[in-house]
Amino acid sequence: MEQDIAIELLSQTRVSNGWLKRISHHSTTTKSRMTLAIYLPDTANDKPLPVLYWLSGLTCNDENFCQKAGALKLASELGLAIVCPDTSPRGTDYPGEHDSWDFGSAAGFYLNATQAPWSETYQMYDYVVTELPSLIEQNFPVSDLKSISGHSMGGHGALICALKNPGHYRSVSAFSPVTNPSQCPWGEKAFSHYLGSNKQAWEAYDACELIRTSLTERLPLLIDQGSADSFLDVQLKPDNLKQACEAVNHPLTLRVQPEYDHSYYFISTFIDDHLKHHATALGIL
């Protein structure tokens, strides 16, 4: 195992026959100190494990999924490592960065910002797709086999990372994703600041638009959405994703779960299905 990139171990906790580690490192992509969590089942002592990358949503950081999703026991049984990065750079303190919960700090939207001042550090797309896997593969006993999932803003991130990088991930899934950000208030607010006023530039980070233009790979999508989600119609728009997939015959399993909301209670109820979906694609189930 190479040690090319300096990392700092912040904590490690024994859980479900494995270790949950929080680490930090200096990111050359975001030009900031980034914190992330990695769960390593003990089976990593015997062979390199495939990795599920989990992208969290607005207001979250690397800890939410690990503490609330209830995913680690099954991940250990499957022999699946899980990596949870933060949702934005930290410590930059740009004007207005911390003024609202749905933009700026903890709201990086997993894109590469092109507008000042955000373009200097808000490069979360490149961080997740390129720098983070390199860091993990060089410093931990994992293989280069990877899948990606996420929730809400992180569900949006998982979809675009997979759709924009054919062959990079073995599988993709999402809970309550922002499917059509160029057509919803959260996305319009973030994209206008990060990417500018040219809405054609927004299409590069919109799952519905990418589905329409993605011709080299039709990676099946697994989506769970709660019917009682207060953000369903205005922000998440799963019907738009369904229509985009139907138009080009992109495989989609969209499960609308009656009476469930947007919370981690919802995620914890169905997370096992998603872990098994990824484990199957990664060849460990």
**Which of 229, 274, 277, 278 is the catalytic position?**
229
Residue 2 pLDDT > 90: no
250 is catalytic: no
Specify the CATH number for the domain of residue 190: 3.40.50.1820
Residue 247 pLDDT > 90: yes
Residue 148 pLDDT > 70: yes
**Which of 56, 76, 152, 171 is the catalytic position?**
152
Residue 3 pLDDT > 50: no
% of the chain beyond a pLDDT of 90: 96
Mean confidence (pLDDT) of the chain: 96
229 is catalytic: yes
Interval 165-178 mean pLDDT: 98
pLDDT at 285: 95
**Which of 156, 250, 262, 277 is the catalytic position?**
262
Task: Name 139's Cβ contacts closer than 8 Å, sequence gap at least 6.
Answer: 1, 2, 3, 5, 7
% of the chain beyond a pLDDT of 70: 98
pLDDT at 20: 98
Interval 202-210 mean pLDDT: 98
pLDDT at 4: 45
Compute CA 282 distance to the chain's CA centroid, rounded to the nearest angstrom. Answer: 17
Q: pTM for the full model?
A: 0.97
pLDDT at 128: 98
Interval 22-27 mean pLDDT: 98
Residue 6 pLDDT > 90: no
The total domain count for the chain is 1
pLDDT digits (tens, 9 = 90+) for 96-129: 999 999 999 999 999 999 999 999 999 999 999 9
Residue 49 pLDDT > 70: yes
Instruction: For residue 5, name the pLDDT band (cuts at 50, 70, 90).
Output: low
24 is catalytic: no
Name the residue range of residue 108's domain: 2-281
If one counts every other C-beta atom within 10 angstroms of the C-beta of residue 225, the result is 24
Residue 1 pLDDT > 80: no
